[in-house]
Structure 1
Amino acid sequence: MTRHDGRIGALAAVDPAAADLADRMVDLAIRGLPPGYVNGEFVFTRRGRQEPGGGWTAVAEGRSVRYSAIVALGVAPLPADAQRAALAGDTVHDLVGRLVKGLPSVTNLGDAALIAWAAAESGHGDLPVALDRLAELERAVRPGDPVYTVEAAWALAGLAAAHTAGGGTPDVERRLSEARDRLLGGLGDDRLYRHVIGPASWYRAHVGCFADQVYPLQALARLHAAVGDTTALGAAERVAEGICAAQGPEGQWWWHYDARTGGVVEGYPVYSVHQLSMGPMALLDLADAGGTAYLKEIALGLHWMTSRPEVDDQLIIEELDLTWRKAARDDPKKIVRGARAVASAINQGARLGVLDRIYPPMTVDRECRPYELGWLLYAWLFELKGQAR
């Protein structure tokens, strides 16, 4: 199968230029991953540094288990030779094996879920070990404890992948049901997801970011594909409809939403990973699961990367094989985000429009994190094959 038989091909039927961009970005991601792969683990970021002559380099900083697991998911659909190209000679089996060996020191529920998910989708023999560690961390969450929405979504996605991979033991099926109920309960009667399932600070309790929408949307769509859960599909459709209704006129996937209404609390930053990867990934999973196909919205989001009103700087940096992270306000203390969260908590729909003039979105964040390239590969090369439609 070529790329144009799959998701990129489906997009090409609607918008050939957007499909060409997605195809080009897949090649860039494969080339761009090795510089961030150090001693069998991915760095936290490659930070842009301007050279005396005016050009840019990207300096590797830190390490990240989470980003390594996301890259493993993205690389898994590649043939072996392309896996070795992306992983500096390693395969996804090598990367997942190291991640599983490191699980005893992983204490974050979301990180463990991502590793289990990667083990399931790569067919790794250590999947039972990864599922056991995820179960230990799940048991540490007491009834009523707050859980980050993103982590709850990753737990559901990981367990759904284990079910689909043939690891659907009675224990996994029970946990899959519990993860499903937790995530659906977090949406409740809201239009979109909040940042936290459970108790949260009063002034931000109603706010959810873009990640808080796409990962549940994706997990619920995958659950339906795996077991035929129409309630999960309906919730995924609600979230997809909400973010697409709020999409900016130039294709912007905005950052913070009022979960109660679906309105935008604060639009910026606009992230490259949202435009190229996370937005398309979740919406394409929904379409693959038998839901609505939002191909026009996906294409519009892609076009923002090459033509946008906020900044003139290029965000796709071919010579470094990366994308700059985001277009943002010059607001390092996040005053706009905080002020608008408080204002909308007190008066639903309040925007404090004057802040747009004080802090215009004119700044480019010149860094690239490996998960941005990992999700890009996953979005465009993975094809969800569920049993239920």
Structure 2
Amino acid sequence: MTRHEGRLGALAAVDASAAELADRMVGLSVRGLPPGYTDGMFVFTRRGRRGGDGRWTAVPEGRSVRYSAIVALGAAALPEDRQRAALAGDTVHDLVGNLVKELPAVTNLGDAALIAWAAAETGHPDLDAGLRRLAELEGALSSGDPVYTVEVSWALAALVAAHRVAGGGAGLSGKLERARERLLTGLGGDRLYRHVLGPASWYRAHVGCFADQVYPLQALARLHAHTGDGEARKAAEQIAAGICEAQGPQGQWWWHYDARTGGVVEGYPVYSVHQLAMAPMALLDLADAGGASHLKEIALGLHWMTSRPEVADELIVEELDLTWRKAARDDPKKIVRGVRAVATAINQGSRIGVLDRIYPPLAVDRECRPYELGWLLYAWLFSLPRDTPGQQR
């Protein structure tokens, strides 16, 4: 794909240099994935390590089913030869097959949803196994149990993808409707999504992170594109407008929000994956579904990667084919986040500005997790189909 096609082409019409950067990052992602792929699965992270000569390397650590499933979604947008380049000789079909074999040991709702989603979008014959495991884990939840917004969103996205390819058989339409209701009801009367749908600690109950906005926005946009659900589109538009209104002046997609008002509780860290992949992915899905276009905000977010005011260190590391994870405060105990959560729980809009001077955002987190590159591919190479344009619920 060239930058004159699809999503990259749409961005180029608004901001050519931002599109050039996104196009360059697609190539970096394909080159950067193989070092983290071993024995048919991706590692948890590649952690930066500085040698005696001052040069950085990236050392693989751990293993992650979740990140492997996200890479499968992203790599599925590549032609087979580039899939093999990204997956050290394997194809996405091979990777999804490996993930399906992991399902009996998967106990996290979000992980099962991502595997089912990847199976649906790649046309894998074992999609039913993914859906069964997803249903089992959902069935194990007791009524009133708190669930994470991100996991609920991934479940809805998986069911939308499965319904698109498999139709409403085996009770799939009912499962889709229940997932829809759970996510829409979870927004309630708030401006943005909270981290947990259900009971939570009083001092953080009102807080939602950036991921808690992106993934519901994406799932609801996809639901609207597939079914014409007007309520889903309205909620998606609300979330998109909220994060764009709160975006920083240099394009920062901030980290923690007061879900009640949409105000920023704590801006840092600013993550590379949010700037390059997650915000574009969700906002472009909304545009593909017929919603508002936020290309200017997407472009501004991309430019933060090369002209951010917080840290002088480069976050795009071409010689290692990766991006460093985030620009953050030198606050390992997360004091700023905790204090501001408590302060805004007591008094909406409270900032305690002195914390910005005590803990300035000067630190770089030198690691790169495979999902960061997987979502980047998905954001820029995928195009969301609209199955029922104009239909409204």
Query: Which TM-score band applies after superposition, normalised by the shorter structure?
Result: over 0.9
- Aligned-pair CA distance for 1:167: 4.2
Distance (Å, rounded) in 2 between the aligned partners of 1:42 and 1:343 = 39
The equivalent of 1:258 in structure 2 is 258
**Unpaired runs of 5+ in structure 1?**
none
Distance (whole Å) between structure 1 residues aligned to residue 348 and residue 229 of structure 2? 33
1:35-80 Cα deviation digits (max 9, x unpaired): 0001111000000000111110000000000000000000001100
> Partner amino acid for 2:364?
V
Q: Matched residues in 2 for 1:228 and 1:218: separation?
A: 15
3-state DSSP of counterpart to 1:13: helix
Write the deviation string for residues 321-355 of structure 1: whole angstroms up to 9, x where unpaired: 00000000000000000000000000111011000
1:143 deviation in Å?
A: 1.4
Matches within 5 A, 1:154-169: 154-169=154-169
Residues 326-365 of structure 1 correspond to what in structure 2 (within 5 A)?
326-365=326-365
Residue by residue over 1:196-226, the C-alpha shift from the partner in whole angstroms, topping out at 9 and shown as x without a partner, is 0000000000000000000000000000011
CA distance in 2, matches of 1:77, 1:241: 28
**Rounded Cα–Cα distance in structure 2 between residues aligned with 1:122 and 1:193:** 29
The equivalent of 1:316 in structure 2 is 316
Q: How far does residue 168 in structure 1 lie from its aligned partner after superposition?
A: 2.9
Match of 2:207 in 1: 207
The whole-number CA distance in structure 1 between the counterparts of 2:167 and 2:361 is 47
Give 3-state SS (helix, strand or coil) of 1:327's partner. strand
- What is the number of residues matched between the two proteins? 389
Gaps of 5+ in 2: none
| CA deviations over 1:235-256 (Å, ceiling 9, x no partner) | 0000000000000000000000
Percent identity over the alignment is: 78
Question: Within 5 Å, which residues of 2 pair with 1:1-389?
Answer: 2-389=2-389
Does the residue aligned with 2:307 lie in a helix, a strand or coil?
coil
Higher mean alpha-carbon deviation, 168-177 vs 85-94, is at 168-177
SS of 1:330 mapped into structure 2:
coil
AA at the equivalent of 1:356: D
2:72 and 2:304 mapped to 1: Cα distance? Answer: 27
Give me the whole-angstrom Cα distance separating, in 1, the residues matched to 2:3 and 2:298.
17
Is the CA contact (8 Å cut-off) linking 2:326 and 2:365 kept in structure 1? yes
Letter in 1 for 2:184: L
Letter of the 2:19 partner, please give it. A
Cα displacement (A) at 1:388:
2.4
Residues 128-173 of structure 1 deviation map (CA, whole Å, 9 limit, x = unaligned):
1111111101101121110000000000000000011124315111
8 Å contact kept, 2:3–2:20 = no
Partner secondary structure for residue 132 of structure 1: helix
Q: Partner of 2:60: helix, strand, or coil?
A: strand
CA–CA distance in 2 between the matches of 1:328 and 1:29? 23
Aligned residue for 1:384, secondary structure, equals coil
Deviations 1:1-43 (A, max 9, x none): 6442100000000000000000000000000000000111100
Using the alignment, how far apart are the partners of 2:324 and 2:5 within structure 1?
Answer: 29
* 1:93–1:277 distance in 2 versus 1, CA, 3 Å: same
Question: What SS does structure 2 have at the residue aligned with 1:58?
Answer: strand
Deviations 1:278-306 (A, max 9, x none): 00000000000000010000000000000
Matched to 2:239, the amino acid is: V
Q: Give RMSD over aligned pairs.
A: 0.7
Partners of 1:133 and 1:253 lie apart in 2 by 34
- The answer as to whether partners of 1:3 and 1:381 remain within 8 angstroms in 2 is no
TM-score (norm 1): 0.99
> Amino acid of the residue matched to residue 159 of structure 2?
L
CA contact (8 A) 2:278 2:379 kept: yes
- SS across alignment from 2:279: helix
Q: Which runs of 4+ in 1 moved over 4 A?
A: none
The one-letter code sitting in structure 2 at the alignment partner of 1:313 is D
Question: 1:48–1:367: 8 Å Cα contact kept in structure 2?
Answer: yes
Give the aligned residue type for 2:264: V
Using the alignment, how far apart are the partners of 2:364 and 2:46 within structure 1?
Answer: 15
SS of 2:59's equivalent in the other structure is strand
